[in-house]
Amino acid sequence: MSDDLLNLSLTEVAGLIRRRKVSSLEVTRAIIARAQRVQPKLNCFISLEAEEALKAARAADRAIARKAKVGPLHGVPLAHKDMYYREGKVSTCGSKILRDYRADTTSTAVERLAAAGAIWLGGLNMAEFAANPTGHNEHWGHCRNPWNPAHLTGGSSSGSGSAVGSRACYGSLGSDTGGSVRLPAAMCGVVGIKPTYGRVSRHGILPRAWSLDTVGHLTRTARDCARMLRAISGHDPRDATSSREPVPHYEEMLNERIRGLRIGVPKNHYHDDIAPDVAKRMEESLAVLRSLGARLVDVTVPDPQAIFLISNTISLCEAATLHAEWMRTRPQDYSLLVRTRVEPGYHIPAPSYLEALNLRPRVTREFVETVLDKCDVLHIPVITMPVPTIAETEVGASAQVPALIARITRNTRPFNYLGTPALSVPAGFTDNGLPAAFQLVGRPFAEGLLLRVAHAYQGETSWHTLMPKL
């Protein structure tokens, strides 16, 4: 029975627990056993709080037994990127500097998941200070891909991709500043969402670049993603940038058909240098959407390299500011990879940073008018190459590593600057046996539409149901 439980989605297992077809304790035991089994191969957990999770599961079952009102995630074990603070608990942020850091506050997203009934299973491995897109981590060890441990998970939410992909948890909070949810989701074969900037409160999480940071999450299905998104979304007075936009019932929106929707396919930039096997997966996914009645529309997009450069100015400056004290007092406690990603921020003039911020509303408006006025949803690859190995993306492995890393984030970073929602959806496998994925992008606060398209696609395909053999 435990293996059957592992193959269930978050919403499926939540329904079984609610109807008392299975207990939260049984589910949690199965997930803990799976996590313990895969951890030596994948290194996806920094902390596995088994006893605390079992205690919470027993409490969840007692609540069901006494017919208490329960939330939509009641009794479901989730694990999260180890940068979500819980008062008095250690949050390492994947670093040496914060190895023993205990927060004096609790993340709003964590509080809202707890209110929905979710169980905290543990803290997941991540790129040090959320500062690289590959998942390398010298302090806690590299996280590994469940489909082939020699390959990248993607970062910075590396443990989230690996744990959800390996069925060691049912869902996970990550964070996305330039692709850090969508890349691990794509590389590990799961769904990952970067909501609209401000859709989810960032209170109580490690910042990377506050003008670009977005709380997102990884799940097995679009329906799971919709349920988690509703649970964590909404205004928070503790985060001045959080939006007051009403939160829709995302799951109910999944039932609408996509017939007649315009799916935008860029004629330029986002498919440049695409590998043939990735291109084939993109064509196949578009064929599925067309078969469901969606219309494919060619669109011309602004050069994402220009947005990439502006975004880079912001992320470098803000990261340099956030790390200034430790860079002065503890530079030796950073890995070379992270230190070299922070230091350039100290050499960018303040007017350049302010200009990059001031351009943002105009650039976003132009993107919406030139692209999203011509289509309802944009469809592009998450990455244009098969998932690379850990070894070939190590710092100093070759002179091509910086260009390779830039290529990894080329299709994700623009949408953090634009603030638009973006969703990574599994779309099969490339010739090396690693997952491929497409990315859906929409207008601000169009998360429901993106999830509806993804759900329709998953109704016709089975990629999201496949479980890696470990």
Active site members: 81, 156, 180
Contact status, residue 305 vs residue 331, Cβ threshold 8 Å: no
**Which residues, at least 6 apart from 136, have a Cβ–Cβ distance to it below 8 Å?**
127, 142, 155, 335, 337, 390, 393, 394, 395
**Which residues, at least 6 apart from 287, have a Cβ–Cβ distance to it below 8 Å?**
none
**Which residues, at least 6 apart from 341, have a Cβ–Cβ distance to it below 8 Å?**
131, 132, 316, 319
String of b and e for 57-74 (b: at least 16 CB within 10 Å)?
A: beebbebbeeeeebbbbb
Residue 212 neighbours by CB distance under 10 Å:
22
And the tokens for 290?
């067309």
Strands (E), 49-153: 77-81, 119-124
DSSP 24: H
SS3 131: coil
